[in-house]
Homo-oligomer: A and B are copies of this chain.
Amino acid sequence: MAGRSAHAPAAEACLDSRQRLLAAAWELLWLNSYATVSVDDLCRRADVNKGSFYHHFDSKAALAQAAFAQQWECLRPALDAIFSAQVPPLERIDRYAALGLEIQTAKAQEFGRVLGCPWTSLGCEAGCKDGDLRSIAAQKGERVSRYLAAAIRDAIALGQIPAGDPDELAAMCQALITGSAAQARITDSLQPFARLAGALRRLLGAPAT
């Protein structure tokens, strides 16, 4: 579930071409599949000429990578805070689910439909190709699983959930999060996000809040 930087377009008149392209890529790749977003689409959205596009980025894929990398850098501090060891373990997971719901709600209001998670969509699309795009999604999955595993490890140590393999449980949670995002996008419903915290707690054998 993504960062808040899609609020940036409002100030985009003040940004340079490169940043405008990054923002355009982020938005268009969230709404549409990678293969259907053309370089012309990106340039139009960013109000940048195609020659400038290729000055800043070697290729469409390079722009996509840079955009996703930038969004991760944006998102990471929020995740570090949510998953901080200063936050009780189960609350970390609740907050992560709440962050997702908050972002998706804002996006749905902005675009008139539920968008789901751009990492998931990109990953599924590029899924069978060994390439840079697929590894963007794979890497994000690993990073989130790392946060989740640490929280689960702590929750087990504190006796808040039944014992189990933290890495395996984290992978299950990640699958549930990924699937909820896909479901939300496909069905244009916020329900999967609204129910995610409860579902994660069930999966972990944690008491409902």
Contacts and interface: CB of A to CB of B under 8 A. Distances in A.
Interface of A: 31-36, 111, 113, 115-116, 120-121, 123-129, 134, 137-138, 141, 168, 171-172, 174-183, 185-187, 191-192, 195, 198-199, 202-205
A35 B32 CA distance: 11
A185 B124 CA distance: 7
A128 B180 contact: no
A186 to B, nearest CB: 4
A187 B142 CA distance: 10
Contacts of A33: 33-35, 124-126
A179 B175 contact: yes
B175 A180 contact: yes
Contacts of A120: 124, 182
A194 to B, nearest CB: 10
Contacts of A178: 178-179, 182-183
Given A127-B121, A205-B202, A182 B183 contact: no
Contacts of A124: 33, 116, 120-121, 124-125, 182, 185-186
